[in-house]
Structure 1
Amino acid sequence: MGNSLADLSATELLTGYRTASFTPSDVAQDVLARIAKFEPTINAFYAHDAAEVIRSAELSTARWNRQAPLGALDGVPVTLKENVARKGIGFPSGNAGNPAPAAAANAPITDRVLGAGANVLGSTTMPDWGMLSSGVSSLHGITRSPHDPELTTGGSSAGAGAAAAAGYGPLHVGTDIGGSIRLPGTWLGLATLKPSFGRVPLDAPYLGRCAGPLARTVGDLALLMSVIAEGDSRDFSQLPPERLDWTLAGAEVTGLRIAVHTDAGCGMDTDPETAAAIDAAAEAFRAGGATVERIDSFMTPGMLVDLDRFWRVRSWVDYQNLSLENQRKILPYVADWCRAGADVPGAELLRCYQTIQSLRQATVAATSEFDLVLSPVSPVAAFPATWPMPFNDPQREMAHIGFTAPYNMSEQPAASVNCGFTSDGRTIGLQIAGRRFDDTGVLRAAAWYEANRPDHFSVAWPS
């Protein structure tokens, strides 16, 4: 970790504010310097106003000088993914052909972080419609890894992941419909959480879609969740209000029943180095007092194909609603992927939807006896930044989400935390999934592993 205030965790920043060791204005200056250094290369921001960041920090500094913070995140830098609405700012969802009128109102998440006093640095980039697992966008160009600009950030929360890894402050919000929070997590070495469906209110809920945090530490995930998980009536799919205990102190795994698998049952084969890292993490949980059992894969190739086809039809509807001029602006890879959904009959689309329900049933059936399930996030490590997908073929189904997508469809929480490196130094993420609604249990397990993994599995952050 570097010596800059930009590298401190949110908890460390708040402690510094309380003790007057430094101010939110000091932090903002360091973060803005970090952004100026990295942003020309990594391209994490869609919208960023340095003057507004300074103004917000000054207001927060004045509140801390009076020992009257506005809320739990006062003065802490936060970024929001492009598709999380901010009043007065357009959200084109990463593509150059999508009209982007200014949002008429904030999303619930935006209201929560602003109400807690956070300093919103800006909106982060995403690929076209969020339907790529990379930082390749017809609107933004390429978002790159701060660890190695030749490598992908993952996506679709590409800019959020890049900002977190580069040290644009500690807290970052992404969205996830099939792995879009956890995939940047694995390919950048971050800690992330895709919450239970409905845990974090959205203003545009959709089957499987969740919003959640990306950070360098599990503790920061929990802190951000304590703010953004507050209920909001604008989300008609939200879970009932519940006061969860987001503290992670004293997390243990003794007595837990844990499953592990390294074969998704579909899509790309798991790299041997990735599988070995997950097995080693499972042994750490066993050594910590958990009972660990290997389970068979529960997703099938047909489930993956039908899920992919369902999404293609959904995106084709968006694509065909654009003018011909705007259709031509869409990333060619995404346009080709969408076109495969153009002639799918209604009966076939309904069959795909029913397959998704079968996937949900299979996921719950395979995992319900266990407190946690360990697996890779992705079967492969980070790929070139210029590739839209790890397999780089729009005619192929989304062959890399066999470990992540099931938990979107089953609505179960799933976290990621770094558990090792490939022989050439690329990060490997451990996915920790839990029973539906047990977001805090998943985070406690992730915090336990973070504290008990070998020291050399910690990520050396660029600074």
Structure 2
Amino acid sequence: MTNSSSRAANLTATELVAAYRTGDLSPVDVLHDVASVIEAREPQLNAFWQLDLEGAEDAATRSEKRWSKGEPIGPVDGVPLTVKENLARAGVPMPAGNAGLTPVWPERSSPVVERIEEAGGVILGSTVMPDWGMLSSGVSSLHGITRSPWNPVLTTGGSSSGAGAAAAAGYGPLHVGTDIGGSIRLPGTWLGLTTLKPSAGRVPLDAPYLGRAAGPMTRSAPDAALLMSVISRPDPRDWTSLPPAELDLSLDPAAFDVTRLRIGLHLDAGCGMPLDPEVRTAVEHAAEVFAAAGARVAEVPPFMTERMLADLDQFWRVRSLVDFEALAQDARERVLPFIQRWVLAVADVDGRSVLRDYASIMTLQRATVTATEAFDFVLSPVAPVAAFPAEWPMPWGETDEGMAHIGFTAPYNMSGQPAASVNCGFTSDGRTIGLQVSGRRFDDVGVLRAVDWYEQHRGAEATPAWPIPEAGAGA
């Protein structure tokens, strides 16, 4: 992945750290360059909930002093980055993208934020999300519409909408999103990014929940690995976290032996929206890249059902209904109308039904692990369609189709397996197409190495050209 401009804002995190080490760049100068990109693009893109350039200037100045002494305090010292608004930053309100909520004002930062600050990262601010994070778009009752840097008429995807827009636009190289059914990888596919939903418990959270994960949203696998080396460090607040481990996140495509791999190709989710032919073709071509290098590729039959998808959707609706009913009537009316309709559709669902939904999720968990265990990695689409209009809350518009677009992504949230996205092609009209690369439970390193290898071998026809021009309207 080659930068078409030498300006500092377009460099990867690994390139920035190398330049800090040699003294060719300073964190303060890099921040100023990134700030100029934000100033130019943010009025149109709408990626930030809270932009704190004053705080970032202070952090960059302290980093510059450390680098001048040759004493960086961590792997991302001086690197500009953002975090999603639902990852607590002390003293920064957390409205969950929802105009109906009274924001929480956290007294302590989340584990992700604390690890970044301990490693010297320069946090630019908090990025936006849609209402309660339950939309796969950049539509929010509080924030308005977040738009794609590729083409502002298109969605960013969601719910890590602001993080995705910031990553694609060049608001620094590193960004952290969260994901409960695809919210990191969906912006990944619709913005051409390299992302990772880590294994369950790999990145500590202060509010763990079934399927929830926080992970990197970047423009390259090495940058995703660099950020993972920081945010995967332990924190006692997450009682679901994995035991502390020093992950070997060195990525060397030459040392990645593709000939020993057994790879699954999953093209039928078994539920939800039909797969767009252009998306299918791009994913098949990605599988051919692995096969041509010697990997054994075999089909993975569908393992998720329409019933499983409907049960998962209902489970989430009831969870959000509880939050909705806790609001005063005037506050309920400020919630996005689409979300109001989505939660009120389950107003009569009883407790037995919710327990049946939970049992169905456990069945999906078992089915996912069973169907994929024979493979080192499974390749699939991230989403069945390419990016849709920015004003649509979901890929089909305003109608209620449940969660018909997450048949490829949600299984890995439920099973806890790592799953990444990486661009693998473009539609005929220039929209990005993402490849999902999932792995066995806890093999986050293996997934990142596979994605890194693919980035080096996918060819120019599948590689985004960064940076995106400010007036860009396609690839």
On whether the aligned pair clears a TM of 0.5, the verdict is yes
Letter in 2 for 1:108: P
Write the mapping of 1:12-27 to structure 2, written as runs, cut at 5 A. 12-27=15-30
C-alpha distance in structure 2 between counterparts of 1:355 and 1:52, whole Å: 46
Once the two structures are overlaid, the 10-residue window that deviates more, 109-118 or 56-65, is: 56-65
- Residue 58 (structure 2) pairs with residue 87 (structure 1): no
Q: Which residue does the alignment assign to 1:286?
A: 291
* 1:3 CA displacement: 2.5
2:32 pairs with 1:51 = no
CA distance in 2, matches of 1:323, 1:36: 37
Q: Pairwise mapping of residues 51-200 of structure 1 onto structure 2 (< 5 A)?
A: 51-200=54-203
Return the offset for 1:456. Answer: 2.4
Q: Percent of counterpart pairs with the same letter? A: 60
8 Å Cα contact 1:334-1:394 kept in structure 2: no
User: Is residue 392–residue 398 contact of structure 2 (8 Å, CA) maintained in 1?
Assistant: no
**AA matched with 1:456:** E
- Residues 54-95 of structure 1: CA deviation (Å, up to 9, x unaligned): 221111111111111121111001100000000000111100
How far does the alpha carbon of each residue in 1:238-279 deviate from its partner, in whole angstroms, 9 at most, with x for none? 011111101111333221111102111100000000001111
What residue ranges of structure 2 are gaps of 5+ in the alignment?
A: 470-475
Q: Secondary structure at the match of 1:254?
A: helix
**Match of 1:356, as an amino acid?**
I
CA distance in 1, matches of 2:25, 2:273: 48
Matching residue's letter, 2:134: M
Matched residue type, 2:52: D
Aligned to 2:425: 420
User: Does the Cα contact within 8 Å between 2:205 and 2:237 map onto a contact in 1?
Assistant: yes
Partner in structure 2 of residue 460 of structure 1: 465
- 1:299 aligns with one of 284, 298, 304: 304
**Mapping of 1:323-342 within 5 angstroms?**
323-342=328-347
| Deviation readout 1:330-374 (Å, 9 max, x if unpaired) | 000011101112211110110010000010111111001111100
2:80 and 2:347 map into 1 onto residues whose CA distance is 42
Paired residue type of 1:449: Y
Q: Secondary structure at the match of 1:375?
A: strand
Shift of 1:288: 1.4
Return the letter of the residue paired with 1:455: A
Cα separation, 2, equivalents of 1:137 and 1:284: 39
1:394 Cα deviation after fit: 4.7
CA distance in 2, matches of 1:70, 1:367: 40
Kindly provide the CA deviation profile for residues 281-302 of structure 1, in whole angstroms up to 9, marking residues without a partner as x: 1111111111000121111001
Aligned with residue 209 of structure 1, among 208, 212, 217: 212
After superposition, give the CA deviation of every residue in 1:86-130 in whole Å (9 maximum; x if it has no partner): 000011110011111321100000000000000000000000000
**Is 1:263 the counterpart of 2:268 in the alignment?**
yes
- What amino acid is aligned across from residue 198 of structure 2 in structure 1? P
Report the AA paired with residue 335 of structure 1. Q
Equivalent residue letter for 1:352? D
Q: How does 1:253-402 map to 2 (within 5 A)?
A: 253-402=258-407
Q: Report the residue type matching 1:75 in the other structure.
A: G
Out of 444, 448, 451, the residue aligned to residue 446 of structure 1 is: 451
Residue 246 of structure 1 aligns with which residue?
Answer: 249
Count of residue pairs brought into register by the alignment: 463
Amino acid at match of 1:247: S
> By how many angstroms is 1:218 displaced?
0.6
Separation in structure 2 between the aligned mates of residue 286 and residue 298 of structure 1, nearest angstrom: 23
Following the alignment from structure 2 to structure 1, what is the Cα–Cα distance between the partners of residues 81 and 305? Answer: 38
Of the structure 1 ranges 129-138 and 338-347, higher mean CA displacement relative to structure 2 is found in 338-347
- Mapped to 2, the partners of 1:5 and 1:346 lie a distance apart of 55
Spell out, residue by residue over 1:131-160, the C-alpha distance to the aligned partner (whole angstroms, 9 max, x if none): 000000001000000010000000000000
Match of 2:473 in 1: none
Is the aligned partner of 1:34 residue 2:37? yes
Q: Are the aligned partners of 1:337 and 1:394 in contact in 2 as well (CA < 8 Å)?
A: no
Alpha-carbon distance, 1:395 to partner: 2.5
When structure 1 is superposed on structure 2, of 104-113 and 237-246 the one drifting more is 237-246
**Structure 1 residue ranges, 4+ long, deviating more than 6 angstroms after superposition:** none
For residue 393 of structure 1, report the CA deviation from its aligned partner. 3.9
1:283 is matched by which residue type in structure 2?
Answer: E
Provide the aligned C-alpha RMSD in A: 0.8
Amino acid at match of 1:458: T
Counterpart AA for 1:354: A
CA distance in 2, matches of 1:413, 1:234: 22
Q: Is 1:10 the counterpart of 2:13 in the alignment?
A: yes
CA distance in structure 2 between the aligned counterparts of 1:202 and 1:115, rounded to whole angstroms: 16
Contact 1:143/1:153, CA 8 A, preserved across alignment: yes
| CA distance, structure 1, for counterparts of residue 231 and residue 258 of structure 2 | 26
Distance in 1 (alpha carbons) for counterparts of 2:365 and 2:60:
44
Q: What SS does the corresponding residue of 2:124 show, helix, strand or coil?
A: strand
Deviation at 1:434, TM superposition (A): 0.5
Alpha-carbon separation, structure 2, partners of 1:395 and 1:220: 37
- In 2, the alpha carbon distance for the partners of 1:4 and 1:457 equals 24
